[in-house]
Amino acid sequence: MTIAVYGKRIDAEFAEATRNLFAALEKYRVNVLIYLPLLDYIKSNLSYTPHIGGTFITTQDLKETDVMISLGGDGTFLDSIALVQDMGIPIMGINLGRLGFLATTSIPEIDNSIDLLMASKYSIEKRSMLQLVSDTKLFDPFPYALNDMVIRNSVAGLLHVNTYINGDYLSTYWADGLIIATPTGSTAYSLSVGGPILTPNLSAFVLSAIAPHHLTVRPLVIPDDSLIELEVSGRDEELIVSLDSRNIRVPQPVKLMLKKAHFNANVICLKGTTFYRTIRSKLLWGMDKRN
């Protein structure tokens, strides 16, 4: 079995947790690949050299990989999706960040999580993704997002977004920005602007305006087989388009099209972990002395 470990920088406070992870993997004698920049960082800053079978940098280096472990927060998990792309490699997230909706395994659970992983005591959740289509091929070669696509002005200001669903005019958003989120992304930026929480298995997208200038504008849930077309303009020369944690500046006006990607992200859900348990613990639902 080959397991790839992806991450960026590891703070010194997580040095022991990092050692525990590699020790747990070594116990099972699996072939471990580590992201080369992460290995260099661990050697230089944590004074530790894990026992590994090799390194990787690009997607092509992951051809023989069975599982990827994302070591960090949700942002790191999203970056790992861009590495795995459409290869179908399941990803398990170990949370060294803050909230951790995607990276659900906490530091005290590392040993037990590796035991469950090696015993195949997990399910794989197939999470739908967004694809961004544009004439200028923005974000090529990977114009996909697990969480969301966000458009906003490069400087604070109002955007004008004509929006069409399957060619049918929906509305013109006058707002600071617009979020199109997957069910996975419904607990991210979309939630912070008042969007609904969707369970990961729903076949839907959410359109949520950022600070809309009409009081009647509310988040909208649509089927994920919809084709979304946006005509975006504003006062600034550029706007910012984001796919998950990746941002680029785009001259405006611009036309964008979004649709469901032809592949899913495979997220490992260990035994005993459920979406409802996650939102209950991360969002502190039911934190009431009467419960």
Kindly list the catalytic residues.
74
Distance CA 21, CA 71 (A): 9
Tokens read off for 46: 């944590």
Amino acid at 86: D
Phi/psi class of residue 229: alpha, beta or left (left: φ > 0; alpha: ψ in -120 to 50)? beta
Instruction: Report yes or no: 177 and 153 within 8 Å, Cβ to Cβ.
Output: yes
| Sheet of 204-210, strands arranged across | 220-223, 204-210, 177-181, 148-153, 238-243, 246-251
Distance CA 226, CA 213 (A): 25
Instruction: Report yes or no: 103 and 119 within 8 Å, Cβ to Cβ.
Output: no
